[in-house]
Amino acid sequence: MRIIVCIKQVPEGIDVKVDPETKRIVRDGVKSIINPYDLYAIEEGIRLKERFGGETWVISMGPPQAESAIREAIGMGIDNGVLLSDKKFAGSDTLATSYTLSLGIKKIGNFDIIICGRETLDGSTGQVGPGIAEHLGIPYITYVSKIIDIKEGKIECKRLMEDHYEIIKAKLPVLINVVKEINEPRIPSLKNMLRAKKIEIPIWNAEMLGGDQSLFGQEGSPTKVIDVWTQTIKKEGRKIEGEPEKLVEEIINEFKKLGVL
């Protein structure tokens, strides 16, 4: 069984900066991490291999520095990784991103399960996973909280909804996106970290992916960011001091004034 996990490198923290001219996220000089939701996708990929056997891959589309995210995933126990990187991919919206990733996945080939995170910290559209599945013409199951079984060419999953669960079966190959509830991501092991340091990560560009070159990057993106701005959050605080009984009374009065109570 071949399992491919899609991971995105995102700026660390919630303080995402946007270039006022280009309306693009500023990535230079900003510490980047694996999108936290994708750690659950990586972990589930490794667990599936442990349960059912096979081979695991990670794929990421991004600038050259995204290679470090791939190495980190290999450090956790993923077998192979590939980076899709080319200036032509810049300015991709979710449609162009999912098209590019679908070509990379086809190039890896013979896939049975593709795993994505629920959404990213920076873009947080949650559209890329379903987009990849549409480009590949395969079924997808979103918000998977448990993989119950894989047998006879089918996967059975538990799906987390707002106030209930669903059990869904789909034919392989399939794409799933996973929620935090599915597992607890492991810490990279020393043995895997050493392997991750040495392994060669291929970088595939637009030409190597083939496909319709006009569907990459800005040219292939039907949506454009017209404007973007950051919200200024005012932090205000008041220190309340005094005897405990009086304090409780004062805090309740403060909350009443704020309309919280």
Dist. CA 9–CA 102, nearest whole Å: 18
Does the footprint of ligand FAD cover residue 68 (CB under 6 A)?
no
**Does residue 62 bind ligand FAD (CB under 6 A)?**
yes
What residues are paired with 2 via a beta bridge?
55
Q: Determine which residue in the list 2, 3, 4, 7 makes contact with ligand FAD, applying CB under 6 A.
A: 7
Question: Which among 12-20, 37-45, 153-161, 232-240 is the span making contact with ligand FAD, rule CB under 6 A?
Answer: 37-45
CB of 93 to ligand FAD, least distance (A): 4
- Cα–Cα dist 47/129, whole Å: 20
Measured distance CA(111)–CA(6) in Å, rounded: 13
Q: Residue 80, interface with ligand FAD (CB under 6 A)?
A: no
125 lies in the binding site for ligand FAD (CB under 6 A): yes
Give yes or no for residue 225 binding ligand FAD (CB under 6 A). Answer: yes
* 85 is an interface residue for ligand FAD by CB under 6 A: no
Written as one string, the DSSP assignment of 51-112 is HH--EEEEEEES-GGGHHHHHHHHHHT--EEEEE--GGGTT--HHHHHHHHHHHHHHH---S
CB of 22: closest distance to ligand FAD in angstroms?
7
DSSP tag of 115: E
Binding footprint of ligand FAD, residue count (CB under 6 A): 34
d(CA 47, CA 35): 19
Q: Contact positions toward ligand FAD, by CB under 6 A?
A: 6-8, 24-25, 35, 37-38, 41, 60-62, 91-94, 97, 101, 116-117, 119-120, 122-129, 221, 223-225
